[in-house]
Structure 1
């Protein structure tokens, strides 16, 4: 009887083969990946899945806005014009006769737009309505919180800078707006806490974004200070609760 010749490679592969009956006992198999803190994580032949990487400043996917849909239908009483000074808005009705409860939330929803002409129309329309709104803005404040929150939650630096500038204009549009925004700090401020310290360190270089007011960290600080100055006596404690690193500009 002649013995079968076994090469070195075959011998090593034989060492890696599972033992007879190992499959039935759950041995020698590739471990199964299961979620953490579950009953499956205590079973044999399983490994816990690693946690997902945290990315609080990752940009959220773009979603279609109601502002663009209504503009495509021609529901806005305005037109986009161009002259020697550039683009401008031509209103077809007087702003004093405009229904703020209907149009102002729609224009705030357009803060998420980054394409022309939707971005320009939303910003300029909000600017005009806040400048001529006065007391008519106050009843609309609760309807503006969700559009502002959605714009900030995009995590897009461009959209956040635009939204913060509009939020500052909203606070300055009427002396009571700052106090009316205090109950909504929990919806508005969490994203500002993430971008508060986002500044560009250029050493001895020149940061031109400060001149254009496009530095997210500086705009967040300006907005928080403005909210505290116009938010009344309860503004600072509510800001401090949502943004622990913020220091008062009034008390100090």
Structure 2
């Protein structure tokens, strides 16, 4: 019976011997890795936390076509969003998901229009918001999947406004935690460590980790009795803000 050492010695006899010099870099777990004068290549980076820059949103496309009943005004007091119709008369099933689709925008004036539009529609939507919640999940998930800090912050603020916009909206989101919380779970504890330095993004309320924690607490408060256990299932490091 041939032992392991003799087996590999027999295998190596048939390998072409490379010239002495700089070792060749070869893939791991291949027959080449057994050849002389070779070095196994390092494993590639997973890129788990790498941002994925988004493509232009559907919101931008339709805004440039003039589909939205809105106008952007740059006045002395700052940028302003004006509506051509009453917000209460809008078809929320049509417009609100399109505004949420624009959460991936980081350029002006699209970013301002999206955030202001979402804020005003949720403020004046009343009972029209709750039936639209299922249509908002895919745009929210799409925005979070970019892992771009600026987009994460915008999406967290939009989620907070959504939950507070009306009765039962927070509870309606609970079944969708499995879709919208994986990325917050990934980024929740990735705070910027500057030692004794100052992270000015925290002072401006633009730190993704802090906003994620704040949003999770709001989801628990407004999500009803099943909210915490569902958050805990998706974000194991989360601790209840109501039980403690």
Q: CA RMSD in A?
A: 2.4
Which secondary structure does the structure 1 equivalent of 2:181 belong to?
Answer: helix
Which secondary structure does the structure 1 equivalent of 2:147 belong to?
Answer: coil
Partner of 2:83: 91
Aligned length: 225
Partner of 2:169: 177
Offset of 1:181 from its aligned partner? 0.4
**Following the alignment from structure 1 to structure 2, what is the Cα–Cα distance between the partners of residues 202 and 24?**
55
Large movers: runs of 4+ above 6 Å: 29-32
**Following the alignment from structure 2 to structure 1, what is the Cα–Cα distance between the partners of residues 53 and 196?**
36
Aligned pair partner of 1:192 in 184, 199, 202: 184
Partner of 1:55: 47
Name stretches of at least 5 consecutive residues in structure 1 with no aligned partner.
1-21
Offset of 1:212 from its aligned partner? 1.6
| CA distance 1:206–1:61, change in 2 (3 Å) | closer
**Following the alignment from structure 1 to structure 2, what is the Cα–Cα distance between the partners of residues 84 and 152?**
34
| CA distance 1:123–1:50, change in 2 (3 Å) | same
CA radius of gyration, larger in: 1
Of the structure 1 ranges 52-61 and 162-171, higher mean CA displacement relative to structure 2 is found in: 52-61
Q: Quick check: 1:121 aligned with 2:110?
A: no
Contact 1:27 1:45 in 2 (8 A): no
Q: Quick check: 1:157 aligned with 2:149?
A: yes
**Following the alignment from structure 2 to structure 1, what is the Cα–Cα distance between the partners of residues 28 and 162?**
45
Please, what TM-score do these two structures have when normalized by structure 2? 0.84
**Following the alignment from structure 1 to structure 2, what is the Cα–Cα distance between the partners of residues 78 and 63?**
23
Which secondary structure does the structure 2 equivalent of 1:181 belong to?
Answer: helix
Alignment deviations for residues 125-148 of structure 1 (CA, whole Å, 9 cap, x no partner): 111100000110111101100111
Partner of 1:28: 17
